[in-house]
Structure 1
Amino acid sequence: MRDVSKLAGVSTMTVSRVLADPSIVAPDTRERVMRAVDQLGYVPDLVAGSLSSRRTNFVGLILPTLTNSNFADTAQGLAEALGQSYQLLIGYTLYRAGEEERLVRSLLARRPQGIVVAGTLHTASTRRMLLAAGIPVVEIWDAPGAPLDRAVGFSNFEAGRAAARHLLSLGHRRIVAIGSEADGDRRDARGEARLQGFAAVLREEGVETGLILRHGPAPVSYAHGAAAMKLLLRDMPDVEGVFAVSDGSAFGALMECRRQGIDVPGRISLMGFGDFEVGRECEPAISTIRVDAKGIGMKTGQLLRDLIDGRDAGAPQSIDLGIEVVPRGTTALPCRASVSNQAMQGSEP
């Protein structure tokens, strides 16, 4: 830093201010310092800085997977809201509770300024560590009544309810939800909550409640949706409507229907969740439950900045950003004539 200050003709304190928060330094001075930094190839020693200030200026983010575009959008929104003041260190669990526990322990050993974790179901050890951490903890992608500290998301249970109500409103009665099944400590708790919300509406409406297909481990994918749809069509050829807990799975289900020559939505209505780009751009476009994935990240980042800087010392709270049903080309009123014709054709020798 002394070398940079000599080359730029400023004090080491000015160099420190430029590197810590460029906005508080005059533009011409900032430019001279950064030009010197570039010429010398200087990289600040953040470990040394954190030892003196006890601020590491990084936030830990734990996600189930890095391949889901919604989680990627959330990470982007969080990074944008945190700005240059904080850096993200991202880990992923592949939906394993034990891996989440390991990541939490590893992150806390590095003294983050805050931790963001997807979901609200944790091992007892993870809960104890997070409660004792003494830093802001934000659970995302759910809206629990009693979060550990803060939560930003929506009700996955209500998302499942909304999907069932939409399919029933179109006149469908043989409707099914497809998701993943638990595999040891590998479990998609948010997808399971959507399945439970779906089943709850069926019970309330007096519709058959056993129509939930859990197939394969999390995370769901295009291949998962195709395989689940193939099983469903084999075991329940008269199905009228299908809700997949992810647009990725719904896309796979749509492709399986095409392979079998089944008209969507003329013969079967199909819904997904998440409003993925693939669901918007395929033909027909997939009806879905939209959530503001990037908005979850943005809101979480703003909340973290307030908590870290001491501007929000309120009680634990849960912020629900809501959901939206988005009807598109894969859901429609049932075509009874088509169903009857297919049933008659299937009965012919």
Structure 2
Amino acid sequence: MRDVSRLAGVSTMTVSRVLADPELVSEETRSRVLAAIEQLGYLPNRIAGSLSSQRTNFVTAILPTLTNVNFADTAQGLTEALRAADYQLLIGYTTYRIEEEERLIRAMLPRRPDAIVVAGTVHTKAASQLLLRADVPVVEIWETPAHPINHAVGFSNYEAGRAAARYLLSLGHRHIAAVGPSTTGEARDFRGEDRLAGFAAVLREAGIGGGLVVQHGDVPASFDHGARALGVLLDRAPDVEAVFAVSDLSAVGVLMECHRRGIRVPQDLSLVGFGDFDIGRQVVPALTTIRVDAHLIGQRTGELLVTLLDEAAAGAEPAVVDVGFSLVERGTTAPAAPRRRSRRDH
């Protein structure tokens, strides 16, 4: 700041005012100071500033992965909303491991983020305690829990699974199954498991059983996972006529495996995915899916945080924002046809 003040011919206090309260400085002086800042490549020391302001102007987001386009879209929406209020986003990712989430929370909190965003509502006991004592806004996303740690923005994964089951039942299907990753191992997709639980609950309510849920392979869901899971499913239930996949990635794997086995979609088997990924719109036939606006989740989260971080919003009541979901009907589903021969005979 001393270098800037000497070059601009003003006091260090004037440089500070230009950076903190530019409206208090004349336009001519402000222009000189900004030109000096540009010439010297000066960057304000945010850490030093935070000691007095108690603000660091960054928000931590802890996501399962950034290779999944939906989480990437959420990060983009969050970044855009925060950028408008001069907040920056610092991202960590867990690879679907709650122990890694706890480690990241421990690593981020000493850096004094102004807020913390975490994907999901299942945390280790220690992580939950850290978030409860963080003394900054905490927003859990991609779910709408009945009792959030602080705030939440998302939708009900359980209800999304129920919607998929009701839709397949409405088409007249009765031999219905679902596929998702395994529930063993360090990595877990708890939101996907909630979707499968909702799906199975509707089948039980319809009196046709809800036990035909194949949870096979590693997290996260993938094309390969879907192909392998369909093989396991057909070994158990060769006459299955409709399948819900926990992710569009798995659903596309199921679809490709159907093509390889000569199983016609949707004539022999109806298929529903989740996520509305780009690839689901490009495969043949195009994939019926449950759509969630991932970018909107990030945007609404950012908008909520900007409001919460306003001094006037101190002590705001917990908020749960439900962005909802929708079923997008495309070419992989059709009304139930008369029973055909076993898949083993194809």
Mapping for residues 318-329 of structure 1, pairs under 5 Å: 318-329=320-331
1:52 aligns to what?
52
1:162 aligns to what?
163
Q: 1:225 to 1:50 in 2, by over 3 A?
A: same
Q: Secondary structure at the match of 1:109?
A: helix
1:256 aligns to what?
257
* Structure 1 residues 30-60: Cα deviation after superposition (integer angstroms, max 9, x where no partner): 6655543333232332222222322111100
Mapping for residues 280-295 of structure 1, pairs under 5 Å: 280-295=281-296
Aligned amino acid, residue 40 of structure 1: L
Aligned amino acid, residue 127 of structure 2: T
Q: 1:194 to 1:55 in 2, by over 3 A?
A: same
Separation in structure 2 between the aligned mates of residue 112 and residue 287 of structure 1, nearest angstrom: 40
- Matching of residue 315 in structure 1 with residue 314 in structure 2: no
Separation in structure 1 between the aligned mates of residue 22 and residue 327 of structure 2, nearest angstrom: 43
Q: Secondary structure at the match of 2:210?
A: coil
Mapping for residues 22-171 of structure 1, pairs under 5 Å: 33-84=33-84, 85-171=86-172
* Structure 1 residues 118-143: Cα deviation after superposition (integer angstroms, max 9, x where no partner): 01111111111111111100000000
Aligned amino acid, residue 346 of structure 1: D
* Structure 1 residues 195-243: Cα deviation after superposition (integer angstroms, max 9, x where no partner): 0000000011001221101011211111111211222233322111111
1:198 aligns to what?
199
1:346 aligns to what?
345
Q: TM-score, normalised by structure 1?
A: 0.91
Q: Is the 8 A contact 1:174 1:239 kept in 2?
A: yes
* Structure 1 residues 89-148: Cα deviation after superposition (integer angstroms, max 9, x where no partner): 100111111111111111111111000000111111111111111110000000011111
Q: Is the 8 A contact 1:146 1:316 kept in 2?
A: no
Q: 1:231 to 1:4 in 2, by over 3 A?
A: same
Aligned-residue offset at 1:258: 1.4
Q: Is the 8 A contact 2:238 2:343 kept in 1?
A: no
Q: Secondary structure at the match of 1:181?
A: coil
Consecutive aligned runs of 4 or more in structure 1 exceeding 4 Å deviation: 8-35
Separation in structure 1 between the aligned mates of residue 247 and residue 325 of structure 2, nearest angstrom: 14
Separation in structure 2 between the aligned mates of residue 299 and residue 22 of structure 1, nearest angstrom: 29
- Amino-acid identity (%): 61
Separation in structure 1 between the aligned mates of residue 330 and residue 226 of structure 2, nearest angstrom: 19
Report the number of matched residues: 344
Q: TM-score, normalised by structure 2?
A: 0.92
User: Which runs of 5 or more structure 2 residues have no equivalent in the other structure?
Assistant: none
Q: Secondary structure at the match of 1:60?
A: strand
Aligned amino acid, residue 69 of structure 2: S
Q: Greater shift after overlay, 11-20 or 79-88? A: 11-20
Separation in structure 1 between the aligned mates of residue 242 and residue 46 of structure 2, nearest angstrom: 55
Q: 1:32 to 1:178 in 2, by over 3 A?
A: farther
Q: Secondary structure at the match of 2:62?
A: strand
Separation in structure 2 between the aligned mates of residue 98 and residue 235 of structure 1, nearest angstrom: 34
* Structure 1 residues 155-205: Cα deviation after superposition (integer angstroms, max 9, x where no partner): 000000000011111111111111112234421110000000000000110
User: Which runs of 5 or more structure 1 residues have no equivalent in the other structure?
Assistant: none
* Structure 1 residues 45-79: Cα deviation after superposition (integer angstroms, max 9, x where no partner): 22222223221111000001111111111111111
Q: Is the 8 A contact 2:263 2:343 kept in 1?
A: no
Separation in structure 2 between the aligned mates of residue 166 and residue 142 of structure 1, nearest angstrom: 22
Q: 1:265 to 1:26 in 2, by over 3 A?
A: farther
1:332 aligns to what?
334
Q: Secondary structure at the match of 1:72?
A: helix
Separation in structure 1 between the aligned mates of residue 169 and residue 129 of structure 2, nearest angstrom: 43
- Matching of residue 173 in structure 1 with residue 206 in structure 2: no
2:300 aligns to what?
299
Q: Greater shift after overlay, 306-315 or 137-146? A: 306-315
Q: Is the 8 A contact 1:146 1:317 kept in 2?
A: no
RMSD: 2.4
